Amino acid sequence: MIRKYVFGKPFETDAVVMEMENRDGLPEFGEISLENGFSFTCTMEKDDIVYGLGEANRGINKRGFCYISDCTDDPNHTEDKNSLYGAHNFIVLAGKKNVGFFFDYPSKLIFDIGYTDLDVLKVSCEKADLKLYVIEGESPYDIVKQFRKMIGRSYIPPKFAFGFGQSRWGYKTKEDYRKVREGYRKNRIPLDMIYMDIDYMQDYKDFTLNEENFSDFPEFVQEMKEDGIRLIPIIDAGVKIEKGYEVYEEGVEKGYFCKRADGSNFVAAVWPGYTHFPDVLNADARKWFGGWYHVLTDQGIEGFWNDMNEPAIFYSEEGMEEFKAVLRENSTMEEENPAVAIGDKMQALSNNPADHTRFYHTVNGEKICHKDVHNLFGYNMTRAAGEAFERIAPDKRFLMFSRSSYIGMHRYGGIWTGDNKSWWSHLLLNLKMMPSLNMCGFLYTGADLGGFGADTTRDLVLRWLALGVFTPLMRNHSDLRTREQECYQFGDTEDFRQIIETRYRLVPYLYSEYMKAALNDDLYFKPMAFVYPEDEIAVRTEDQLMIGNEVMIAPVYTQNAKGRFVYLPERMMLVKFTGDSAVYQEVLEKGIHYVEVALNEVPVFIREGKCIPVAASAQTVAELDTKHLTLMGFDGAEYALYEDDGVSKDYENPENIRTLSGALLLFEK
């Protein structure tokens, strides 16, 4: 049961697609105060668990910390950070009573979940202009599925997007990309995509190509496709201010950039220098900006990743003037602690919340301060692209994912979890974040495998890839200021080949489960608690996840570990994949087991009575033989395989489902 309550005059976010009437009065769950803004407060029982919040720090159970929905460009994801790149305002309170809450509010929203008071959940914001959806259900899982129907079908990527992708900030020329291609092909490591970071552009200008390095670009795109590799370019939020640059001049002429209060175009410095931001909350401007993606799709590009769209601001003109004033005031060094004053002001230049008050959007003729809708920018930038793809090629799927997001964007693209670090703790954070993102509609998700910032190590990349085998988005990405971490950079490549071959062997199963989850408003990743709600150990286990209805995963995430302890809530079959070589299997009884896992192995636990389809590996997704699959699991089990052409949108065709049964490669007699 879903109830909708409207307070004040909320901004229409388009997060919810289900039509429902407003309820009078106040929700029976918790107390609401409309003094000094909005606050919702309720008491939690001692054993209650709180799920949700999508891209958020810490664990699956969000209890005991304060989270702030305020899309933030911050690459240092330490445990004390309250905000990350996304704002996903859905939570589920699970315990003696099960109830979900979606706070549809596009500005800064604070979730104090037992942080100030261990037993109190408090959600608050500055203005009492929002929609609150209260969802009752039989279980947390039931509530999540109701919510997923409420917000609409999750984005469905093309099938090639389930291959492995290599990325690095710093690839600048065709030869850089050819070197990556040859590094993988020579070592027989599968690869479907190479990502293009900001250096492919001319002076970091959106929808341009470096004239010297990328002449004859359509021919280069085709050259890579002929070897089974798609190029996936980045698009940033800021449009460079430069006379003669068509995107800039047309945006100024049509009035499609965000404005200051006086009507002039807001100016912020990002990678290109001074830029304007497209007013993507304005439907006309959104259509205009999205239309520019055709510049690259016309040249053969079939996927993009949107970045810097919180939006990130290195500094604004106003912020720089304030900083210069502080420098002048402290120039004599006679003032008390001048270095502190200068340092504080310098640090405050980047992503300063004060800048959010300095520019405005025009929505349906009304001027809206960016601060009041801040969390919607990344969502609507990606929406601009998604809506444009419907015009460019309505029957074709494009790959699209974004850094910043709000619930609703899940219908237009996936997300990657941003600029993580090459830390073992971020490998574990990646694992724990996945089901929470799924709960908020984001199914096509993944992290920068191996870590983006800091220097990685061979064992960390291998362990992270072993988790990435299961994330729909599987991409190795790194910062140009760090050690190179392509899979051929660590000497012997055999271990890397076997891990990535395992991904390709499992693509038929992973793609099938993804499609079932998307088409049925379900989860791809589930917490163990959603499958085994009566098992207290399973409910409290956060470093093991369920995929679909057949599989449990328990990745190794500790340095120098030769294995790990795994809790089995039921009898399961352990399968260890090592590329296309033989797999090891053993049926384990319910309970705690220590499982050894070598660096070239990917362990999978198949539930009793279940099986999964496995293919022979291939160098690309397109080369996989899905007509001759092997079933792995328990004797007598069947599997309903979803398989389509991976490109078109004929999702509901009954011929996309076929039942697999017969002899199993691994089975218990």
pLDDT, tens digit (0-9, with 9 covering 90-100), for 326-358: 777 776 655 556 656 666 767 778 889 999 999
pLDDT of 330 reads 75
The one-letter code for the residue type at 174 is: K
C-alpha distances in angstroms, 137 versus 46, 215, 519? 20, 57, 21
Per-residue pLDDT band at 121 (split at 50, 70, 90): very high
CA 479, distance to chain mean position in Å, is 18
Asked if the model's pLDDT at residue 668 lies above 50, the reply is no
pLDDT at 331: 66
- Tens digits of per-residue pLDDT, 442-455? 999 999 999 999 99
Please give the pLDDT value at position 24: 87
- Three-class SS state of 633: strand
Please state, in angstroms and rounded to a whole number, the distance separating the CA atoms of residues 477 and 344.
32
**Rg (the chain; Cα; Å):** 25
Question: One-letter amino acid identity for 177?
Answer: Y
Per-residue pLDDT tens digits for 400-441:
999 999 999 999 999 999 999 999 999 999 999 999 999 999
* Lookup: tokens for 406: 């709000």
- Give per-residue pLDDT as tens, 154-173: 999 999 999 999 999 999 99
Check whether 608 has a pLDDT greater than 90: yes
**Is 0.85 topped by the overall pTM?**
yes
Would you state the pLDDT for residue 669? 36
Backbone angles phi, psi at 18, to 5 degrees: -80, 130
Token code pair at residue 547 = 């995929």
**583 or 497, which is more confident:** 497
Is the Cα dihedral 464, 178, 182, 194 positive or negative?
positive
Tokens of 294: 């055709």
Q: What does DSSP say about strands 120-125 and 38-43: parallel, antiparallel, or unpaired?
A: antiparallel
Closest Cα partner for 56 from 42, 38, 70, 40?
70
pLDDT value of position 347? 74
Q: List, for residues 467-492, the tens digit of each pLDDT value.
A: 999 999 999 999 999 999 999 999 99
Mean pLDDT within 268-294: 98
CA distance 207 to 246: 10
- For 266, phi and psi rounded to 5 degrees? -65, 140
The pLDDT tens digits of the residues spanning 26-54 come to 888 899 999 999 999 999 999 999 999 99
Taking residues 97-117, what's their average pLDDT? 98
d(CA 113, CA 62): 7
What number is the average pLDDT over the span 289-312?
Answer: 98
Could you report the per-residue pLDDT of 616-630, keeping only the tens digit for each? 999 999 999 999 999
Q: What is the token pair recorded at 158?
A: 């093309």
pLDDT surpassing 70 at residue 375: yes
Q: What percent of the chain has pLDDT over 70?
A: 97
Q: Which residue has the higher pLDDT, 393 or 25?
A: 393
Q: What gap in Å lies between CA 452 and CA 487, rounded to an integer?
A: 14
Q: What is the pLDDT of residue 341?
A: 67
Query: Could you tell me where the beta strands, DSSP code E, fall in 408-532?
Result: 414-416, 445-446, 448-449, 474-476, 525-527
Query: How far is residue 499's CA from residue 125's CA, in Å, rounded to a whole number?
Result: 45
Place of tokens 């709960």: 439
Contacts of 524 (CB under 8 A, 6+ apart): 438, 443, 472, 513, 514, 517, 547, 548
Q: Which of 535, 532, 516, 533 is nearest to 524 (CA)?
A: 516
Mean pLDDT of the chain: 95
Rounded Cα distance, 376 and 105, in Å: 10
DSSP code for 453: B
How many Å apart are CA 421 and CA 480, to the nearest integer? 13
Q: What is the pLDDT of residue 27?
A: 84
